[in-house]
Chains A and B, each alone.
Chain A
Amino acid sequence: MNRVVITGLGIISPLGNSATDVAAALRAGRVAIGALTILPTENLLTKIGAEVKDFDPVTQFSDKQLPLLDRCAQFAVAASRQAVTQSGLDLHALGSRAAAIIGAGVGGMTTLDESYYRVYAQGSKRAHPFTIPKLMISAAMSHITITHGITGPSFTVASACASSNHAIGVAYSMVKSGTVDAAVTGGTEAVFTFGTIKAWEALRVMSTDTCRPFSKNRSGMVLGEGAAIFVLENRDHALARGAEILAEIVGFGMSSDAADIVLPSADGAAAAIRACLDDAGLKPEEVDYINAHGTGTVANDATETKAIRAVFGTHADKLAVSSTKSMHGHLLGGAGAMELAATVIAMQGGFIPPTANYAVPDPDCDLDVVPNEARDQQIGVALSNSFAFGGHNAVLAIRRA
């Protein structure tokens, strides 16, 4: 089995459009949740979100490319360019020895929403011919293969809010097994359309003020958008070409609750964390930090606390656990990728990113959640949790390079 390292990281996110900017934001505990500006909110109850700012697609793509790219694909391709450039890897040369495995929740919602508005509300006789190639959930991944000349395995993974962790985990497994030498992986989502926010509101899990994970007065989740994309590489391959290694992926664990379409299960979450530790050959005591799923809903945060206590026992009180969703919002299909990116950045920078907006202790969420301020601390081993609607749990483990 090969060891698998991260040699490239690209981010388009509410916390910034580069790993450097995101690192500064995480260290400062900057909350990127604010009033939604990219769509009219007068007929919405939810008027907040974490938007990508200062991203001008016109400067990123040619007028030939752009009409075929939904916002979620724009984020993913732009982030993939950063990651591939940083890695220094010639993916065209690797060809079929490289894979593209990307997570997404729903895909081109902006395109779908605009098309439905056109045909249902405006009564247009015809939809735009690019509607299908833009909205398909795999389109962002397709454009990544086209951009970088990746001719090996390529597909999109969908498991709601665990999509990116599953994608990264599958990419890790493929590099580990030797199916490919490198993989471009991660996740993307662009969720801010009127129809989508209405649908989320109806579920009654949305906060109308901000996201306060693990805090007694938490009021629900806040949506975010963006993409985080990694280059994973066989460690020997990376060392042979003298590439900079950002971190090593050492474990991946999965489980399914087989219980409820929306309610999380502590047993299911704990099973995925245990599976990840087993895959990595890690003892619970070796873990320094967990980037929690931490959505800020009543159900998730108490369940996740229970799961962490079940797996880590007394070590649970020595762990740092934080939810960076408090700053960048919930990227849904892109969440796991954004949070692994935050974890890699924290590991490289020697700090624990905080759980922002924390106000009131909750006895049901009594872990060290690193309230409000980043903490200077070296991280040797970290986990990143994703627990999706439908009970699909996926946990990644990384080790400092």
Chain B
Amino acid sequence: MSSEQDIFEIVAKQAKTDAATLTRATKLADLDLQSIDVVELVFAIEEKFDIEVPYSPSEQNTAGISFQSVGEIIDAIDRLVAEQHPA
């Protein structure tokens, strides 16, 4: 099961916008999210899915995860959930 709808809602809440306006192609940079907002977004995702997300503003520490677009977040979270909570 994809995390897509949950991620749309979490991102929309953080960006104070309507989830319906978001697509997988939406860039975080276009949502006026500051660095601390992205950190809070990652926190909200970790809380929602009970996972650890190896996110860091330093690219060396993000274990290959990109947080540029909403689609990239969804793919990363699906992968992390599968790894950390194998069915």
Interface residues of A (CB under 8 A from B): 63-64, 67-68, 125-126, 128-130, 133
Contacts and interface: CB of A to CB of B under 8 A. Distances in A.
Interface string B38-75: 01101100110010100000000000000000000000
A130 B16 contact: no
Contacts of B1: none
20 contacts: A63-B16, A64-B16, A67-B40, A68-B36, A125-B46, A125-B50, A125-B52, A126-B43, A126-B46, A126-B47, A128-B40, A128-B43, A129-B36, A129-B39, A129-B40, A129-B42, A129-B43, A130-B36, A130-B40, A133-B36
Contacts of B50: 125
Contacts, number: 20
A63 B46 CA distance: 22
Contacts of A128: 40, 43
A129 B45 CA distance: 12
A125 B42 CA distance: 14
A303 B16 CA distance: 56
A125 B46 CA distance: 9
A124 to B, nearest CB: 8
A64 B40 CA distance: 12
Contacts of B36: 68, 129-130, 133
A35 to B, nearest CB: 35
A239 B52 CA distance: 59
Interface in B5-55: 16, 36, 39-40, 42-43, 46-47, 50, 52
A68 B36 CA distance: 10
A133 B42 CA distance: 17
B15 to A, nearest CB: 11
B47 to A, nearest CB: 7
Contacts of B43: 126, 128-129
Nearest to B46: A126
Given A128-B43, A130-B36, 9 more contacts: A68-B36, A125-B46, A126-B43, A126-B46, A126-B47, A129-B39, A129-B42, A129-B43, A133-B36
A122 to B, nearest CB: 12
B85 to A, nearest CB: 14
A128 B42 CA distance: 10
B61 to A, nearest CB: 15
Contacts of A68: 36
A130 B47 CA distance: 15
A130 B16 CA distance: 17
B87 to A, nearest CB: 21
A90 B16 CA distance: 31
Nearest to B40: A129
A135 to B, nearest CB: 14
A126 B76 CA distance: 20
B76 to A, nearest CB: 18
B77 to A, nearest CB: 16
A399 B28 CA distance: 55
Contacts of A133: 36
Nearest to B32: A64
For the complex of A and B, 6 pairs with smallest distance between CB atoms? A129-B39, A129-B43, A129-B40, A126-B46, A128-B43, A126-B43
